[in-house]
Amino acid sequence: MNKRTLLHTALALALAASFSADLLAQDAPLKIGVTAGPHAQIFEQVKKIAEKDGLKIQIVEFSDYVQPNAALAAGDLDANSYQHKPYLDAQVKDRGYKIVPVGYTVNFPIGIYSKKVRSLAELKEGARVGIPNDPTNGGRVLLVFQDKGLIKLKADAGLKATPLDVTENPKKIRFVEVDAAQLPRTLDDLDASAINTNYALSAGLNPGKDAIAQENAKSPYVNLLAVREQDQNKPWVARLVKAYHSDEVRRFIQTEFKGSVIAGF
């Protein structure tokens, strides 16, 4: 009997310890990766809404597009909010990440900026234009130049077009591939540069006033919340998406960014 009592007591203590560990795990804040600028600003608002629902959030800022997915895949983050689906699809294909989208966030129409010309039509022959060096955003910019009539791309180039896919280039524009976060710094040296809205805003550029051209607002580049595949059906994911899709967050986006960032939900 004594042995049986001791065994039951040991089992009870083990269960209690396990239960306590689960509570502690649930009480730990969710680590959400964002890039600096609008994504970080918006998530500060999401954090406030989520906390009303008992969901604690720790915001982790990154300065590039590569690390947030690497950190999520490694388990250092619970979710991230900074990328559109074509970029995520490319990362999943190239790196084998088990990462999935769980909800749309915002859209950032990419813009072309210049300190030397006031329109794309003013670009001279041989002009040097900076574009993001990742395939998805680089292709996005080339599509803008095609839409504006400056170049033509191979018919099958799709969303991941590269400068090698340019078939017609009457002005012989030279596309210079640069890390997206560094493109604002190239404006003194290049004739123009295509800059993602979050980096443009961080550099003090106003997309609505300073861009000499922008992509069509109806693009496939709406950003999203992403989590590891194994977590997508967990209750906290639905609560996180609900907090992001709240009327309070929508109003903040409309008021704070005045059309340079658009709610995509």
Q: pTM value? A: 0.68
- pLDDT, residue 3, reads 47
Kindly tell me if the per-residue pLDDT of 29 is higher than 70: yes
- pLDDT, residue 24, reads 38
d(CA 128, CA 131) in angstroms, rounded, equals: 10
Nearest Cα to Cα of residue 221 among 134, 54, 104, 122: 104
- pLDDT, residue 22, reads 38
Percent of the chain with pLDDT over 70: 89
Kindly tell me if the per-residue pLDDT of 6 is higher than 90: no
CATH code for the part of the protein at 29-108+221-263: 3.40.190.10
d(CA 151, CA 149) in angstroms, rounded, equals: 6
Query: Start-end ranges of CATH 3.40.190.10 in the chain?
Result: 29-108+221-263, 111-214
Kindly tell me if the per-residue pLDDT of 77 is higher than 50: yes
Range of lowest pLDDT (4-13, 93-102, 135-144, 241-250): 4-13
- Sequence letter at residue 261: V
- Residue 197's pLDDT band (boundaries 50, 70, 90)? confident
- pLDDT, residue 17, reads 46
d(CA 29, CA 173) in angstroms, rounded, equals: 48
- Residue 114's pLDDT band (boundaries 50, 70, 90)? very high
Can you say whether the dihedral through the CA atoms of 164, 185, 134, 259 is positive or negative? negative
CATH code matching the domain that covers 111-214, chosen among 3.60.15.10, 3.40.190.10, 3.40.190.290, 3.40.50.300? 3.40.190.10
Ranges assigned E (strand) in 45-142: 57-62, 79-84, 99-107, 111-113, 128-132
What is the mean predicted confidence (pLDDT) over 108-117?
93
What is the mean predicted confidence (pLDDT) over 210-215?
92
- Residue 174's pLDDT band (boundaries 50, 70, 90)? very high
Percent of the chain with pLDDT over 90: 75
Nearest Cα to Cα of residue 62 among 37, 35, 30, 88: 35
Nearest Cα to Cα of residue 251 among 54, 48, 62, 53: 48
| Token digits of residue 115 | 């300190």
Q: How many CA atoms lie within 13 A of 132 on its CB side?
A: 27
CB neighbours of 248 closer than 8 A, spacing ≥ 6?
45, 48, 49
